[in-house]
Amino acid sequence: MSVRTTRFVETAPGVRLWTETRGPADGTPLLLVMGAQASGLGWPEGLVERLAAHHRVIRYDHRDTGRSSWTFDQDPYRVTDLAEDVVAVLDGLGVERAHLVGMSLGGMLTQLVLADHPDRVLSATVFGTTALSTADLVHPDGTRTPVDRLPGIDPRLLEEWARPVEDLGEEAELDRRVRHWELLHGDGLPFDAEYFRALEREIIEHTGSYLPGTAHGRADHSGMLRTEALAANRVPTLVVSAPADPVFPPPHPQFLAQAIGGARLAEVPGLGHSLPPEVHGPLAEVVLSHTTAR
């Protein structure tokens, strides 16, 4: 029997995170870890429902997103604290071990949990991210590319991120978010502006405010490298290649698959740094082929 529940869990003093669980009550837990400044609703319904047909799926709002505690301005934290929140969510929900699926910053948080708390992870899937490693990318011909020579972020995104965000009202904020999604989407699939506008309206309603958060960009990003621990990884790990990703374009996925011990690589054609309906089925298929093989 499929059930859907929401509850808050305390992950640190004064910090409560909103969580949602759905799927079979006796299903194997699968925790979705979203990217920077993204609510758990960034995991779209179409994808969550597909995964919940096989797992007890958990999504949650990071600190300073959605309905969780917005505390950064009063009590600044490190990005590594967001990784500890992943474990604290499992603790708060009474989950000993779970499959983790992380996108973007969520993929980095997943790597931190893999390195620091491997006993809590049944399997890991990461995409739209890069390895927390100083190792070189080794090409098939044996040549090497240092990590600092891997392709960078699309200049159009850097230009967008450099613009000051002004409060011009909710509709203007929706316009800004849709413009941002179009850049993140990449060139692999047609962009449906109305789909992403509706998604952001839902997130704004869920949050109770249209004002954007900036805490994750201002948080301390130091202490995140885990080169040796990732190389020694023994947790089954899948890297999903997003060929149209403008943030971490190929060969970042290949770098990830090499840096994480035992990782394997699969591709979702057309996938960029967003989750439009066209990728829900293919992405769920590759994730489930990984998690249900355990």
pLDDT (tens digit per residue) in 190-199: 999 999 999 9
Which pLDDT score is estimated for 191? 98
- 273 is a catalytic site residue: yes
Contact status, residue 112 vs residue 235, Cβ threshold 8 Å: no
Q: What angle do CA 54, 56, 61 make, to 5 degrees?
A: 130
130 part of a folded domain: yes
Residue 94, domain CATH: 3.40.50.1820
Span 199-222, average pLDDT:
96
Which pLDDT score is estimated for 293? 87
pLDDT (tens digit per residue) in 87-125: 999 999 999 999 999 999 999 999 999 999 999 999 999
Selection from 217, 41, 32 nearest residue 126 by Cα: 32
- 245 is a catalytic site residue: yes
Contact status, residue 157 vs residue 184, Cβ threshold 8 Å: yes
- Which residue among 216, 241, 245, 274 is the active-site one? 245
User: What is the total count of domains within the chain?
Assistant: 1
Residue 240 phi/psi, 5° resolution? Answer: -95, 120
pLDDT (tens digit per residue) in 18-45: 999 999 999 999 999 999 999 999 999 9
Alpha helix stretches (DSSP H) within 186-291: 193-207, 215-218, 227-231, 252-259, 277-291
Give the residues across from 3 on adjacent strands. 23
Span 238-251, average pLDDT:
98
Identify whether 29 is preceded by a cis peptide bond (ω within 30 of 0). Answer: no
> Which pLDDT band, with edges at 50, 70 and 90, does 267 fall under?
very high
Return all residues near 190 (Cβ < 8 A) that are at least 6 apart: none
- Which residue among 39, 68, 69, 104 is the active-site one? 104
- By residue range, what is the domain housing residue 274? 2-154+213-291
Which pLDDT score is estimated for 54? 96
Which pLDDT score is estimated for 223? 97
169 part of a folded domain: no
Between β-strands 137-138 and 144-145, what pairing exists: parallel, antiparallel or unpaired? antiparallel
Which pLDDT score is estimated for 105? 98
Span 140-161, average pLDDT:
95
Distance, CA of 68 to CA of 223 (rounded, Å):
25
197 part of a folded domain: no
How would you class 121 by CB atoms within 10 Å of its CB: exposed for 0-12, middle for 13-18, buried for 19 or more?
buried
Provide, rounded to the nearest whole percent, the portion of the chain with pLDDT above 70. Answer: 99
Alpha helix stretches (DSSP H) within 93-238: 105-116, 155-162, 170-185, 193-207, 215-218, 227-231
Residue 1: pLDDT over 60: no
201 part of a folded domain: no
Residue 294: pLDDT over 80: no
196 part of a folded domain: no
- Kind and range of the H or E run holding 30: strand 28-33
Residue 67: pLDDT over 80: yes
Which pLDDT score is estimated for 115? 98
Contact status, residue 2 vs residue 49, Cβ threshold 8 Å: no
- Taking residue 265's Cβ as centre, other Cβ atoms within 10 Å add up to 13
